[in-house]
Structure 1
Amino acid sequence: MNAQDQHPQPAPDHLWDTVDALWTWLDENQTHGGREGLLLRVLKLSEEVGEVAQAVIGATGQNPRKGASHTWDDVQAELCDVVITALVALRTLSPDAQAVFAGHLARVAERSLGPGGAARAV
């Protein structure tokens, strides 16, 4: 059983509803608001990326003092945390985060996969 099987998964259609719910919860429980809160929310991404690096080092046993302290399932979970944190940060910057993300994804797909690339990727 991998880490994703241990938790119920929201349907893809509910991704942005979940992002909005997390954003609301964080806003209602934040210690710092305004520009400082925004900056701290974006900086949270650095923390999460560091946890991915720590998990990769642990999964490969790269630190001889700690040995194999993580699994590749841990790496997957940490990558998911990065994605969630990024989506919530995007939602913090824009109430229309879903459209902002969709537009950017389409541009990246077209640039990387060519015209109509996003449609071919589905």
Structure 2
Amino acid sequence: MNETWQNINLHASHPSSASSLPIEQQWLVQTVKLQEECGEVAEAVIGALGENPRKGFSHTWDDVRAEVCDVIVTGMVMLARMGGDPAWFFDEHLRTVTNRAALKGDRTS
């Protein structure tokens, strides 16, 4: 297991151990957290474009990048909390997406 997944598993082990909710409900809460992080990306993009009349240019593109990283980390933590081998599952899924994109001649998802 590489350092990234070791760190993700460390993050994944903390909050869920304190929750009294059944495991499936913990996953639902994590889904809401993931959505919250996506909203922060949108807020940062609006700020980077200066499209909020009240705030103007409130964010930079580096802020957007950081928020995207938060989405990725939150998704990886969710995957780790769902059990199994998250690194293997992610790698297999990435392979599937990559193969599908190659067949279409598309490199974006």
TM bucket normalised to smaller: 0.7 to 0.9
Q: Comparing both chains, which one has the higher relative contact order based on Cα–Cα distances under 8 Å and sequence gaps of 6 or more? A: 2
Shift of 1:38: 1.5
Aligned match of 1:87:
76
2:5 to 12, 16, 34: 16
The 1:62/1:31 distance shift into structure 2, 3 A limit, reads farther
1:66 to 27, 31, 55: 55
Question: The residue matched to 1:85 in structure 2 has which SS?
Answer: helix
1:51 to 40, 47, 64: 40
Aligned residues: CA RMSD: 1.7
Moved more, 33-42 or 83-92: 33-42
**TM (normalized to structure 2)?**
0.86
In structure 2, the gaps of 5 or more residues are 104-109
1:28 to 17, 30, 43: 17
The 1:58/1:31 distance shift into structure 2, 3 A limit, reads farther
Identical positions, percent: 41
Question: The residue matched to 1:53 in structure 2 has which SS?
Answer: helix
Counterpart contact for 2:13–2:81, Cα < 8 Å: no
Shift of 1:30: 3.4
The 2-side partners of 1:71 and 1:32 are apart by 38
1:103 to 64, 83, 92: 92
The 2-side partners of 1:75 and 1:30 are apart by 30
In structure 1, the gaps of 5 or more residues are 1-12, 115-122
Letter in 2 for 1:58: G
The answer to whether structure 1 residue 78 and structure 2 residue 67 are counterparts is yes
Greater than 6 Å deviation, 4+ residue runs: none
The answer to whether structure 1 residue 38 and structure 2 residue 38 are counterparts is no
Count matched residues: 103
